[in-house]
A and B are shown apart, each in its own frame.
Chain A
Amino acid sequence: MQTLEAIISFTAFMAFASYILLQIDNDRGIDNSLYRYQLANDVWRVLYLRGDFKDLSNTSGTSKIGEDIEEIEKKTGFCIYLRGMWATAPSNRGTVCRAKNEPFAAVGHVLLIDGDPHLSTLSIYEQEK
C-alpha cells in the first residue's frame, strides 16, 4: 500500500515538475520590431537619396531602382519589394530573390509619379536559405 502511495506521489510530482519546466520559454529572443521598421525606412530613404524615384514614369529598359534594390539585397540578405511599381517587378530584375512568406517589415509611402500620388508599400523579407 505504501509502495502504491509512493508511486502515485512520485508520478504527481514528476507531472508537476515537467509542467513547470515546460512553462519556461527558452526561445524568447530579442524584440527587434522597431529595428525592422527602421531598416525598411532605411531602404526607402537610401533609394530616395540615390534619386531612384525620379524616373519611375519611365517604363522601359533596366531601371536604376532595380539595380539599387539588388545591391541592397546583396549587402543585407533581404528580399525587397515595392508593391505597385513596374521597376521592381521580378521580371525587371536580374536575379530572383527567394523570400520567406512572412515580411520582415513593411512601410507605406506616397509617391508622386507624373504629378499623381501613388501609394506604395515597401516590404522586406528574409531570404530563404
Chain B
Amino acid sequence: MLSWYRGFVSFDAMFSLIPILLLTVFLLNIMHYLLYDAVESVEAQEKFNKLVLVADYIVKRGGAYEKDNIIYPNLIDPGKLKGLETELGSKISMDLFIGLESEGGIPNTDKECIYRIVVNNNTGEIDRLFVCG
C-alpha cells in the first residue's frame, strides 16, 4: 500500500517539475535577451561617443587651420586630414574614415558615420566633415 502511494508522489513531483523547468528556461531566456540587448546598446553608444570625440578633435585641433600659432576651429585644412585616420584610429582601436564631402564625398561603406559642419580652407565654402568608423 505504501509503495502504491509512493508512485503517486513521484508522478506528482514529476508533473510539478516540468512547469518549474519551463519557467526557469523562460526566465533564463529573458535574462539572456536583456543582457545581450544592454551590451549591444552600450557598444553602440561607445562607438558613437568615439566618433563624436574624434570629430570634435579634428574640428578644433587636428584638422583645423593654423596660422601664427592661432588655431581656427571649424576652418578645416584638407592637407592636415591626411594621416589622421591611421593616427587616431590606432589610438581608439577603430578603422576610421575621415574626409570632407567636397574632397572625397560620402564614403560608400557600411560604417557608421557622423558629420560636422565646417568651412573648407582651400575653397572657403561650407562643407561637411565626415568621420566614419
Question: Which of A29-37, A83-91, A99-107 is near enough to bind chain B?
Answer: A29-37
Known contacts A35-B52, A75-B117: A50-B126 contact under CB 8 Å: yes
Q: Contacting A30 at CB < 8 Å: which of B33, B34, B44, B117?
A: B44
A46 to B26, CA, bound (A): 55
Residues A49 and B119 in contact, CB atoms below 8 Å apart = yes
Q: Within residues 1 to 48 of chain A, which ones have a CB less than 8 A from any CB in chain B?
A: 13, 17, 20-21, 24, 26, 28, 30-32, 34-35, 38-39, 42-43, 45-46
Interface size class of B (residues with CB under 8 A): 20 to 34
Task: Answer yes or no: B72 CB below 8 A from chain A CBs.
Answer: yes
Nearest chain A CB to B62's CB is how many angstroms away?
A: 15
Interface string of B65-100 (1 = CB under 8 A from A): 000000011110000000000000000000000000
Task: Answer yes or no: B28 CB below 8 A from chain A CBs.
Answer: no
Residues B117 and A49 in contact, CB atoms below 8 Å apart = no
Give A contacts to B, CB under 8 Å: 13, 17, 20-21, 24, 26, 28, 30-32, 34-35, 38-39, 42-43, 45-46, 49-50, 68, 71-72, 75-76
Give B contacts to A, CB under 8 Å: 23, 26, 30, 33-34, 37, 41, 44-45, 48, 52, 55-56, 59, 72-75, 101, 114-119, 124, 126, 128
Nearest chain A CB to B45's CB is how many angstroms away?
A: 6
Residues A34 and B128 in contact, CB atoms below 8 Å apart = no
A75 to B101, CA, bound (A): 10
